Chains A and B, each alone.
Chain A
């Protein structure tokens, strides 16, 4: 009896310690229950709606991929070959570059947007990184503001081969997403549209647009396409290249042109409003 009485304090401490541990465990489990129930609303319900959408999208993308691969196999002429031969050859084609600039300058002079230009000079070939080389092309122009817009659009056109090259990455992705949502099988029509020759499109855009739109039944795609085309670089390019100029570029075998970019442009106010003395340095790009 006395022994029992002596062990009482230890039993009391042990009982309270065990109770404390068990209550702590119960508290943790209760918290876990509350978190789990709350996460049903916060995580599970959005996932329940997201998963079927993702599965549907994966099916559509797989189907589009198959169609695009099939269309790719049937395509005549490889875009890579055009790029290698025309846009980024291994040697700079100086004659062709001078001819292209001459066509532009003649067109600008004819429309009274260019008053004078200095001889076009070429610098030494230099490494541009990423497996590319750059040849500086320099000239000085007495040019009107509208002529400068045309010059910039023309340089954007140099090295661009297809409609896709005149659209920004986000514009192209927007078209692909719209196709995915509106008419997944129209991916073939979109592929043909994006890879269509840029100069032909600038000359006559309606037939290519109509051919693409035939694959879509909804008006919303047409509206979105028109919006994308309106805000893209295509209208500026179309204004810069007159039908006669396009004809000359094609007949003189200047198109497709070699890749050029404006690397430096210095504008000094000219003698009359809207006129500038422009020193232009272009980069003419080739592959290594």
Chain B
């Protein structure tokens, strides 16, 4: 015998009404227990002992923060006492001078890069001049003795220079291949390397 729509509604409503009270009671007891636990039990569970004193996490975090600030300030003042002239234009100049890239070391590393970039054609890349200053170095030279591959070799050299950690940006040269009756095909270049 099929139930009418009205009967089904009455049954569902009866079920919801019957279970409503126990559910509300359970929810109230469960939430109450959790509120009590949150206020009384949780702080005890999460407190940790530091130097014989029970501390909760927020107070530990704030104490650590205060101490970190104190240590940083003390370290700064200690360093100023030990190293006079800290923070002066003199110290900035001295630090800039001592921290700057050594032009000759840089030129030597560029030469080594040129050699490493063409292991099969030693001496294919010749550096003829370098202009250093204002946070950049312009390297001029020529690629020769590799036949028609001079531009490919120059591109390899350029890629190798890009991997230098001291260099932040490379202005590539104008890729060209010239014909010289004495040395054959060659690619003169000027590459500008911008330092960090």
A contact set with B: CB distance below 8 Å: 8-9, 11-12, 15-16, 18-19, 22-23, 25-26, 29-30, 32-33, 36-37, 39-40, 43-45, 47-48, 50-52, 54-55, 57-58, 61-62, 64-65, 68-69, 72, 78-80, 83, 87-88, 130-132, 145, 148-149, 152, 155-156, 159-160, 164-169, 172-173, 176, 187, 190-191, 194-195, 233, 259, 261-269, 281, 285, 287
Contacts and interface: CB of A to CB of B under 8 A. Distances in A.
25 contacts: A12-B17, A15-B23, A18-B24, A19-B23, A37-B46, A40-B48, A43-B61, A44-B57, A45-B48, A54-B67, A54-B70, A61-B75, A72-B81, A83-B90, A88-B90, A160-B94, A169-B99, A194-B83, A261-B93, A263-B134, A265-B103, A267-B130, A269-B127, A269-B128, A285-B93
B74 A61 contact: yes
B85 A12 contact: no
Interface stretch (B28-36, B156-164, B171-179): B28-36
Interface of B: 13, 16-17, 20-21, 23-24, 26-28, 30-31, 34-35, 37-38, 42, 45-46, 48, 50-51, 57, 60-61, 63-64, 67-68, 70-71, 74-75, 77-79, 81-85, 88-90, 92-99, 102-104, 107, 127-134
Contacts of B27: 18-19, 22-23, 26
A145 B104 contact: yes
B154 to A, nearest CB: 18
B23 A68 contact: no
B34 A26 contact: yes
Contacts of B13: 8-9, 12
Contacts of A40: 45-46, 48, 57
Which of A8, A9, A61, A194 is most buried by chain B, counting CB atoms within 10 A of its CB?
A: A61
Contacts of B37: 29, 33
Contacts of A29: 31, 34-35, 37-38
A77 to B, nearest CB: 11
A68 B129 CA distance: 49
A264 B74 CA distance: 40
Contact of A22 (B21, B31, B88, B90): B31
Given A29-B38, A36-B45, A194-B83, 15 more contacts: A16-B20, A16-B23, A18-B27, A39-B46, A40-B45, A40-B48, A44-B46, A47-B57, A47-B60, A55-B67, A88-B93, A148-B103, A165-B98, A168-B99, A266-B132
Given A16-B16, A36-B46, A132 B97 contact: no
6 A-B pairs closest in CB distance: A15-B20, A264-B133, A22-B27, A68-B81, A61-B74, A54-B67
B73 to A, nearest CB: 9
Which of B17, B24, B45, B63 is most buried by chain A, counting CB atoms within 10 A of its CB?
A: B24
A54 B64 contact: yes
Contact of A37 (B45, B50, B103): B45
A63 to B, nearest CB: 10
A131 to B, nearest CB: 6
A265 B102 contact: no
Contact of A47 (B64, B74, B97, B128): B64
Contacts of A22: 24, 27-28, 30-31
A176 B24 contact: no
Given A22-B24, A47-B64, A195-B84, A267 B89 contact: no
A43 B57 contact: yes
A216 to B, nearest CB: 16
B93 A132 contact: yes
A55 B102 CA distance: 41
B24 A19 contact: yes
Contact of B31 (A26, A47, A48, A267): A26
A106 to B, nearest CB: 21
A48 B53 CA distance: 11
Nearest to A160: B94
A266 B131 contact: yes
Given A22-B27, A50-B64, A187-B82, A62 B74 contact: yes
A19 B25 CA distance: 8
